[in-house]
Structure 1
């Protein structure tokens, strides 16, 4: 790992402008130097401290954009340092990425529970560290952009309630479109037939493709607005009749313009209304980018890094959801627990890299067996896997289990130290039940685990169902 990092540092040109201010917290100076040199070479400004107390003091003196935090430290461990940051109003929103040799699921879950945004396991890959760091910096930048945009919009909306003299002074200099409309009513029925433009600023006239002199006093509003949305005119009428404001976004691509999204606020003004229109295309693009970043982060949080199938966290959430659903619907829910036979001996024979390759092949083969979208295949832990089969009875679950067993047999992965075969085999435990009110889902897990134990005890390389 150190050779990979040093090679990356050698081949990377330093950048004159800092891409972010990063605080590194680790009690081992050699770890701090290695990571600090890496970040500096990639254009980041890195500061290093060796304790939680110094981290708090340093962050208060100069706020970092992101903090990398080790878990195992004297006096205050990483989890305690993270909790201290989250309890401080001035530091609570600093993204904290744990970077630790502790790779168990429980350690990672603890990191997320105390407020960490990500968790990187040592030894780490350079590209992984940089990718996760960049994701956090992008999210921060987008959030600041959204906050600035919202603040600007509120300022414009407050202007609407100022006096006529103030409104007149800002019309020609405003970046938003501003207009005031007067209702034109049918003399016989009193119903609003159209709106006459009383005030129109240059932005509005540009949107309408008309000169201001051609708009003021004219009846052009209904024809234009129904071109955007046939139902929108009636809603503006409702603003005048009820006094309730409108506050919405709308999509309207203009010719020879990159703008396509707008936000408008319409409020009652006498027997008519005032409206402001803002181009929010950039904000919409930022929102979409933020949604994509959040989607990728959620995917990382629910995916097993090695096998690329669902992880234990996703398994727990999914099983709980379907347990409660099947409890309400009184339908059968099945669970298959799977263990690779004599996997420790496999690691002893082929090494940990060979073991990882075996886990990946087995996981991907298992994942291809269930055909329904609602079925979930997850890594349960180590060499154990689990399959959740909603609305499936024991007979159906056993069919899936046998298909999984056959899929692994078809892989024909050599296993010279196995006690049951010269190829990799599986033991599978199947449990099915209709959840009852007040019953814990641990019963289903325990039944599947007992069936798995029985499959191992009876010679392995087989699937056994739990029988009540």
Structure 2
């Protein structure tokens, strides 16, 4: 297998592969920090990816791997080229570097989101920038994810597969809805057109005539005028048992008990109905039913939407999983920084209207770098999980929040809580962490892990934003560290 870089008229770099005998290919990169062995046999297409990076070597290496995994890849070396390429042919997803000349990744993402026809394209940032503010800025300008270099190929694939899977399912769902609408339009054609498509239609079609009680004129049943094989199968009857016969009412109870009354209303009022029905037996089938008035009766169509319902369930599960991933810290399983940022903004606005206090505690594990250096990162991860769960026990109300702020820092958001209440929570945190008794031989303070805490309380108002509260709590935290650590400091209450 060989890789060539070709210049198109738009100056984009296209990665192409020449056929080669099947063998294992080992790809390594010191820039990306990963290695991967890929089978040389071709893969089927999975989606179109646009890579944006000002370093051609990075584009070539990552693009080659994604191509071998079955993706269609286009690559460009600047933000301006990326926008030009996207406007010509939209990709399914964009992997975007941040540090680029002329136009950085943030500006490219903002430009994409400003154009209605492009703003739906998912953008995942890939950058060596590892600062929390860089990540926050990436999300705030419209990115859906952030991958830090060096990274693993498996991580990149896992991050892009979620959005690509949802897009594929949405296209399938769109096609199903489109087919349903096309089938429903047939229903409004004349009787002659209805008769001509009965036997060839993939949907169930039938026409019913009202049978009225002579004394009152009320509809007591329906007589089947025409019916196609699809509806006959749904009712588990032969067509000969249905056409020209009464007794349609008793068949309806296997769908819904009030369906007969709904059909009567269609005939008497002229208002059509459209709804989904579930038919359960050995297998479960879903149908979309449409009924419209036809003379002194109605015409009905049944469309099998079992596959569509299955897609809807899978799409809902995928969205739920993405929501969890977007709001949970993967290591500690508590809320992440993104979730915290959203919550503090919402509480700031709510409490500014109610003029209630909002308290924030920022805490930091003392000498945690020394802990990691001595005990190892795996032990450090275990400690972070234990401490996160201990902190989570200190909040009881649904509105309270514990989140990982970054690294070994955690935050506790306490709406409608004054300074005294926040101090009580801080003391509870120190007690619970002390009860964990996690050894820390490298700590200059104690033989066990300890934390320093900064506490701030404000009554929000619309003239200021939540950054003021975060800044005060952060300043109090540093005072606690400078004061010897293993303590809490309450920020000044001066507004």
Q: How many Å apart are 1:185 and its aligned residue?
A: 2.4
Do the aligned residues in 1 keep the contact of 2:434 with 2:448 (CA within 8 Å)?
A: yes
Q: Partner of 1:173 in structure 2? A: 200
> For 1:403, which of 428, 431, 446 is the aligned residue?
428
The unaligned stretches of length 5 or more in structure 1 are none
Equivalent of 1:162 in 183, 186, 189: 189
Check if 1:203 corresponds to 2:230.
yes
Alignment check: 8 A CA contact 1:14 1:42 kept: no
- Aligned-partner SS, 1:273: strand
Describe how 1:229-378 pairs up with structure 2 within 5 A: 229-255=256-282, 257=283, 259-323=284-348, 334-343=359-368, 358-371=383-396, 374-378=399-403
Instruction: Give the stretch that moved more between structures: 158-167 or 99-108.
Output: 99-108
Does the 8 A contact of 1:25 with 1:55 survive in 2?
A: yes
Contact 1:306 1:356 in 2 (8 A): yes
Say which is worse superposed, 291-300 or 448-457, in terms of deviation: 448-457
3-state SS in 1 of match to 2:288:
strand
> In structure 1, what is the equivalent of residue 97 of structure 2?
70
Taking structure 1 as reference, are residues 230 and 14 closer, same or farther at Cα in structure 2, changes over 3 Å only? same
Cα distance in 1, alignment partners of residues 249 and 31 from structure 2: 66
CA contact (8 A) 2:210 2:297 kept: yes
Residue correspondence of structure 1 range 115-134 to structure 2 within 5 A: 115-134=142-161
- 26, 38, 54: which is aligned to 1:27? 54
Aligned to 1:43: 70
Count of residue pairs brought into register by the alignment: 466
Aligned with 2:185: secondary structure? helix
User: Hey, which of these two has a bigger chunk of helix by percent?
Assistant: 1
Contact 2:43 2:69 in 1 (8 A): no
Which stretch shows the higher mean deviation, 359-368 or 445-454? 445-454
How far apart are residue 92 of structure 1 and its match? Answer: 4.6
| 8 Å Cα contact 1:67-1:94 kept in structure 2 | yes
Report if the CA contact (8 A) 1:24-1:67 is conserved: yes
**SS in structure 2 opposite 1:162?**
coil
Spell out, residue by residue over 1:9-29, the C-alpha distance to the aligned partner (whole angstroms, 9 max, x if none).
Answer: 325454343333332221112
Q: In structure 2, how many angstroms separate the alpha carbons of the residues matched to 1:25 and 1:16?
A: 23
TM-score by length of 1: 0.86
SS at match of 1:252: strand
CA–CA separation in structure 2 for the residues paired with 1:458 and 1:92:
49
> Secondary structure, in 3 states, of the residue corresponding to 2:410?
strand
Give the CA deviation at 1:8. 5.3
Deviation at 1:400, TM superposition (A): 3.4
**Structure 2: any 5+ residue segments left out of the alignment?**
1-27
**2:19 corresponds to:** none
CA displacement 1:100-159 (0-9 Å, x = unmatched): 112333333433344433322211122111112222221121111011111111111111
CA contact under 8 A between 2:358 and 2:417: conserved in structure 1? yes
State whether structure 2 residue 423 is matched by structure 1 residue 425. no
Alpha-carbon distance between aligned partners in 2 of 1:337 and 1:86, rounded to the nearest angstrom: 33
* Range with bigger deviation, 279-288 or 372-381: 372-381
Residues 9 and 37 in structure 1, CA contact (< 8 A), matched pair in contact too: no
SS at match of 1:195: strand
Aligned alpha-carbon RMSD (Å): 3.5
Corresponding residue SS for 1:260: strand
Alpha-carbon offset, residue 88 of structure 1: 5.4
Distance change >3 Å, CA 4–CA 344, structure 1 → 2 = closer
Instruction: Indicate if the aligned counterparts of 2:349 and 2:461 stay in contact, CA closer than 8 A.
Output: no
In structure 2, distance between residues paired with 1:78 and 1:436: 34
Whether 1:380 and 2:405 are equivalent positions in the alignment is: yes
Change beyond 3 A, Cα 1:327–1:90 = closer
The two structures have a TM-score, normalised by structure 2, of: 0.81
Q: How does 1:87-126 map to 2 (within 5 A)?
A: 91-126=118-153
C-alpha contact 1:5 1:38 (8 A) present in aligned 2: no
SS of equivalent to 2:267: helix
Whether the 8 Å CA contact 2:166–2:318 is kept in 1: the answer is yes
Question: Aligned pair in 2 of structure 1 residues 318, 62: CA closer, same or farther (>3 Å)?
Answer: closer
Match of 1:190 in 2: 217
